Structure 1
Amino acid sequence: MTTQRRGASIRIFLIDGTPQGMRLVERIGWTGCCLGFSRSDYGRARQREEMQRSGVYVLVGADPQGARPVRVYIGEGEEVRARLDSHVKEKDFWSSAFVLSTKDDSLNKAHIRYLEARLIAMAQAARIAAVENATSPAALGRLSEPETADMESYLDEALVLLPLLGVTAFEIYDEPDASASAPVTKNDQAQIAGKRYRLKTQLTEAEGYSDSRGFAVLAGALARRETKVMVAGYERVREELIAEGILVGVNEQQYRLSRTFIFDSPSSAASVLAGGSKNGRTEWKDDQGRSIKDNEEATAASPV
């Protein structure tokens, strides 16, 4: 028996009355909470009760090296405020912070070290953000089986809240299973198949589809080694994928994508794979030869 995902009610409290100010995010029936704030608001944020509890935190800012859109640092503290006080002095890159704790301050040192280790490992596996942490703490296995289950449940809830605040560094790609929630009808199959697009140019062959986080290209895609004129941002992405072993050489003319990877856009995906600037909205085509642009325009023109 499979479990179908249900809707969820999440409350985002704008502490300052503005979406750019401090935000407290909670979910009904969950004892956890997330406090988000900018570095410029730290003076006021550090006075809040959430900062005096035990918890884990994520610092987010631009990646100084430009290899990733953002850089993150994950940490823990029995009093989060004390740790962040030191990071204000020692770490310059971060511009926003997100503190995960509980309303009843029920997380102990073993809990937060486990959560820290899991979040670091997830961020490193997702490879969406550059991870500031030099090493991953060896904290897994120190909890009892019931406590481990509790912390995994805590993470499940927290990982729903963080993307609402713009933190996507922990979203490990998991290709959706069409049969996971309900029986699939012929019409459903047609819709699922219609989401797949293919890119085929000289020495380049790939399959992918639009994802809520960008454009996902499936593992095994072939990319051209030789590069032509390319937007600087795409070139940096390509160099990083090669350095990290996500694009691996298979012969003198091609690379292969070793794992499914989510690019920022169809154009980023097409350009990186083809080795030159491409308009992904017209280059990626479905089995009927329709481009992403064609399908988007057809959807916009269809009756409600």
Structure 2
Amino acid sequence: MVDGTPQGLRVVERAGWTGSCLAFARADYPAARARREVQGTGVYVLVGPDPDGRRTQRVYVGEADEVRVRLDSHQREKDFWTHGFVLSTKDDSLNKAHVRYLEARLLEIAREADNATLDNGTAPPRSYLSESETADMESYLDEALVLFPLVGVNVFDRLDRADSVDSGVQADGPNVGKDEVPDGHRPRLSFKAQLTAAEGREDARGFLVYEGATGPGTSKVMSEGYQRLRERLLQEGILVAVEGGRIRLTKDYIFESPSAAASVLSGGSKNGRIEWRDGTGRTLKEVQRRSAPETA
């Protein structure tokens, strides 16, 4: 934390990695533009609310031989962004071909993640790199993608359905005590109600519901916030109307909580910790209780 506050300029690095990420709010751009990280070759990401209201956020990815020159232009001409992030290296080892490759890859990942509206008008092709350089840039990218969530950027988050996490194996296996849940175990859960059928699991980022979940096409009594979220998901095509008076989830989606997931899908106010159940019929509340056994 450059100025000692978590809201101010931040430089994020990892041991053994030559890269770095400068994170700053637009209000701090005058201080950010004086930093070494923006004076050389690098890749940058601008994030802010989507002014069109189609998505909750908009993102722009760019590259430059001198990042500060491009950021100056965006400071004058782009309205949407509120936070900026600059990827560079401590030894100035990135060249133009490297950052063009990284820019193209980040845009590919952002499109695949589909968490934000892309402000980029065109999709640049990957620049040609040798096999060893490509491996180096992919390694650099792997490290950078780990850092982005630490500074509040989720536009590159791709959902992972790792079998080891959501395989549905129950906690009461032969090697697990009655009240124990293995480290990292997130059992598959289901929610069934009138016209509603869904499967999901807890996730570090919220509550993940799998593609294909269905619910009634009309909503009943629910909080204003959940109603707005339901309408937004319908506008974005994440929820779509299907035959039988139902709606269907078109992609895996992370809700902020199990209650938000259950309420939005069913069209009514629901307590997600009671509604979501594992394969043995235990509620999520019971599963969570078993993960914290009582001690004497």
Normalising by the residue count of structure 2, what TM-score does the alignment of the two structures yield?
Answer: 0.85
Larger deviation, residues 275-284 vs 211-220: 275-284
Query: Are 2:54 and 2:235, in contact at CA under 8 Å, matched by a contact in 1?
Result: no
What is aligned with 2:230? 238
What is aligned with 2:271? 279
CA distance in 2, matches of 1:195, 1:68: 30
What is aligned with 1:145? 131
- What's the offset of the Cα at 1:142? 2.7
Alpha-carbon spacing, 1:176–1:115, altered in 2? closer, same or farther (3 Å): same
- What's the offset of the Cα at 1:299? 4.1
CA distance in 2, matches of 1:249, 1:290: 31
1:27 counterpart SS class: coil
- What's the offset of the Cα at 1:193? 7.4
Q: 2:284 aligns with which of 276, 292, 302?
A: 292
Q: 1:172 aligns with which of 155, 158, 161?
A: 158
Q: 1:259 aligns with which of 229, 251, 269?
A: 251
2:163 counterpart SS class: coil
Count of aligned residue pairs for this structure pair: 287
Alpha-carbon spacing, 1:252–1:155, altered in 2? closer, same or farther (3 Å): same
Alpha-carbon spacing, 1:190–1:302, altered in 2? closer, same or farther (3 Å): closer
In the alignment, structure 1 segments of 5+ residues that lack a partner are 1-13
Tell me the amino acid that sits aligned with residue 290 of structure 1.
Answer: R
What is aligned with 1:80? 67
Q: 1:96 aligns with which of 63, 83, 108?
A: 83
Identical positions, percent:
57
In the alignment, structure 2 segments of 5+ residues that lack a partner are none
Q: Give yes or no for the alignment of 1:200 onto 2:196.
A: no
CA distance in 2, matches of 1:74, 1:186: 49
1:125 counterpart SS class: helix
Tell me the amino acid that sits aligned with residue 254 of structure 1.
Answer: R
Query: Are 2:61 and 2:106, in contact at CA under 8 Å, matched by a contact in 1?
Result: yes
2:62 counterpart SS class: strand
What is aligned with 1:117? 104
What is aligned with 1:130? 117
Query: Are 1:67 and 1:236, in contact at CA under 8 Å, matched by a contact in 2?
Result: no
Q: 2:145 aligns with which of 128, 134, 159?
A: 159
What is aligned with 2:10? 23
Normalising by the residue count of structure 1, what TM-score does the alignment of the two structures yield?
Answer: 0.83
Query: Are 2:100 and 2:127, in contact at CA under 8 Å, matched by a contact in 1?
Result: no
Query: Are 2:214 and 2:265, in contact at CA under 8 Å, matched by a contact in 1?
Result: yes
- What's the offset of the Cα at 1:268? 2.1
Query: Are 2:42 and 2:99, in contact at CA under 8 Å, matched by a contact in 1?
Result: yes
Larger deviation, residues 244-253 vs 98-107: 244-253
